[in-house]
Amino acid sequence: MSSSPKLPASATFLSTDSTASLPAARILGIETSCDETAAAVVENGRIIFSSTVASQIDLHAPFGGVFPEVASRQHIRTIYPILETALQQAHMDLKDLDAIAVTRGPGLPGSLVIGVNMAKGLALGSGLPLIGVNHLESHIYSAWLHWPPVETSPNVEIEPEPQFPLLVLIVSGGHTELTLMEGHLQYHRLGSTLDDAAGEAFDKVARLIGLSYPGGPSIQKAADGGDPRRFAFPRAWLENTWNFSFSGLKTAVLREVHRLKEVSNDLPVADLAASFQEAVVEVLVGKSLRAAEAFGAKEILVAGGVSANRALRAAFQTQAACPVNIPPLSLCTDNAAMVAAAGYYRFARQQRDSLDMDVLPNWPLSEV
Ligand code: KG4
Ligand code: ZN
C-alpha cells in the first residue's frame, strides 16, 4: 500500500498564478512516440513526483537513426518496468491518481501503439479517465514543469508560469514550428519547416561528417573546438514568411565535404560542425526574435530536443529583448512528465478519450 506524498511547503502556486481556478489532479504520463520509453507522475501540471525515461539510443546508434521495428519491440520490453518504477518513485499506485495521459501522436505508429495500448489497459482496469495528448503540445508544456522533481528538492520555490501571449519555437527531430500561444491550449500556427526538421538536419549532417547518432549532441561536442566562421554556409531566411528550410544548408555541407575529400581524407570536423551549428542557430533565433516582436509576445518558449543545444540556448538568452523560457536539459528531449503536464490542462478542460481511441502518427499541433 502506498502513501501519497505531501506537497512541499513552498508549493503554493495554485493560489498565486493562472491555475488558481483549475482542479487539483495527479496525472500519470506515458510516452512512447519515438525511441524513449517514459512514464511520470505529475501534480497540477507542474510538480514532478517521478519521471523515468529509458532511452534506446544505444540500440539505434549502429543504424545511424531510429529503426522503427526495433523501437516498438524495445518499447514492449521496457514499458512495464518503466511504469512500475515511475509509480514506485512517486510512492503512489493507480488509486492515488486522477487520470492517465498518453502520447497519441505524432510519432512512429508502431511505437505510439505500445504506449496507447498500455494506457488503455490501465484505464480499463482502474476506471481512471484516459487522455490522448499531442507530442508537440507536450514539448510546450515541459516549460510549465518545475525541475528537479519534488523529492530531490522539496523546498525550492516554484517559478512563475510562462506568460501569454507566448511565442513558441518547437525544434525536435521531426518538427520545427513557430507558434503563437494566446492562452492555455490555444495555438496559432505561424510557420514551420518546408523540408527537414532542425533535429533531422543535425542528425543528417552529423552522419555526413562522420559523427555518431544522435547528431545534435555529437555536433555540439565537436563544434566546441571549431571555428564557426571557417565555412560560410547559407542561411535560408525565407523573407515574409515564418517558415524555415534546412535542406539547402544540408546540401551545402555535403558539397563542402565532397570538395574537402578531394584534397584530403582528414575532414576538419570541428570547423564543419561549428559552422553548420552557427547557421542553424542564427536562423532559428533570428526568426523567433522577429516573430516575438511582430506579435507582441511577452515571452519566448523554446522546446523539443534541439532546445538542449548550448549554442542555441546562449544565443536566445543573450539576444532576446523579452524573457526566454527554455526547459532544463532533462526535460528538452522526450520524457513523460511533459505528457502528464499537457494532460493536466486537457483534464482540466474536461477532455476524456474513449477506450477505442486510436494513434494519430501525423497529428499536427494545429489540429489538437
Ligand atoms: O524532441 P526529441 O527528443 O524527439 C523528437 O520528438 O523528435 O528530439 C530529438 C532531436 C534529435 O534530432 C537530436 O539530434 C536533437 O533532438 N538534439 C539536439 C541536441 N540534443 C538532442 N540537437 C542539437 N543539440 C543538442 N544538444
Ligand atoms: Zn519529441
What is the structure's pLDDT at 57?
A: 87
| Whether residue 333 has its Cβ less than 6 Å from ligand 1 | yes
**Which three cell numbers, joined as nine digits, stand for 177?**
514550428
| Residue pLDDT, tens place only, 169-227 | 999 999 999 999 999 999 999 999 999 999 999 999 999 999 999 999 999 999 998 99
Q: Is the Cβ atom of 215 under 6 angstroms away from ligand 1?
A: yes
Q: Is the CB of 334 within 6 Å of ligand 1?
A: yes
Helix or strand holding residue 111 (H, E): helix 109-126
**Residues paired with residue 48 on neighbouring β-strands, in sequence order:** 42
187 CA from centroid of ligand 2 (Å): 18
Q: Is the CB of 307 under 6 A from ligand 1?
A: no
CA of 5 to the centre of ligand 1 (A): 33
Substitution site in 37, 316, 333 for ligand 1 pocket (most atoms within 8 Å of beta carbon): 333
Q: Residue with the nearest Cα to atom 16 of ligand 1?
A: 305
Enumerate residue ranges in the chain where pLDDT < 50.
1-17
CA of 137 to the centre of ligand 1 (A): 16
For ligand 1, atom 8: residue with the closest CA = 305
| Ligand with smallest separation from the Cα of 138 | 2
pLDDT, position 154? 66
**Ligand 1 neighbourhood includes 214 CB (under 6 angstroms):** yes
pLDDT of residue 150: 79
Measured from the Cα of 308, ligand 1's closest atom is: 26
**107 CB within 6 A, ligand 1:** no
161 lines ligand 1 (CB under 6 A): no
| Residue 297 main-chain phi, psi, to 5 deg | -70, 140
Task: List, for residues 116-166, the tens digit of each pLDDT value.
Answer: 999 999 999 999 999 999 999 999 999 999 988 877 766 667 788 999 999
Amino acid of residue 84: E
Q: Which ligand is nearest to the CA of 53?
A: 1
For residue 107, which atom of ligand 1 is closest to its CA? 6
Which ligand is closest to the CA of 308, given by its number? 1
Write out 335-352 in H/E/C secondary structure: CCHHHHHHHHHHHHCCCC
Nearest residue (by CA) to ligand 1, atom 19, is: 216
CA distance 129 to 122: 10
Q: Could you tell me which of 63, 72, 65 has the C-alpha nearest to residue 37?
A: 72
| CB 202 near ligand 1, within 6 Å | yes
**How do beta strands 47-55 and 99-105 pair?**
unpaired
Do the beta carbons of residue 158 and residue 210 sit within 8 Å? Answer: no
Q: How far away, in angstroms, is 31 Cα from ligand 2 center? A: 9
With a 6 A CB cut-off, is 174 part of the ligand 1 pocket? yes
- The ligand 1 atom nearest the CA atom of 199: 12
For cell 543528417, what's the residue?
Answer: 204
Distance between CA atoms of 301 and 180, rounded to whole angstroms? 10
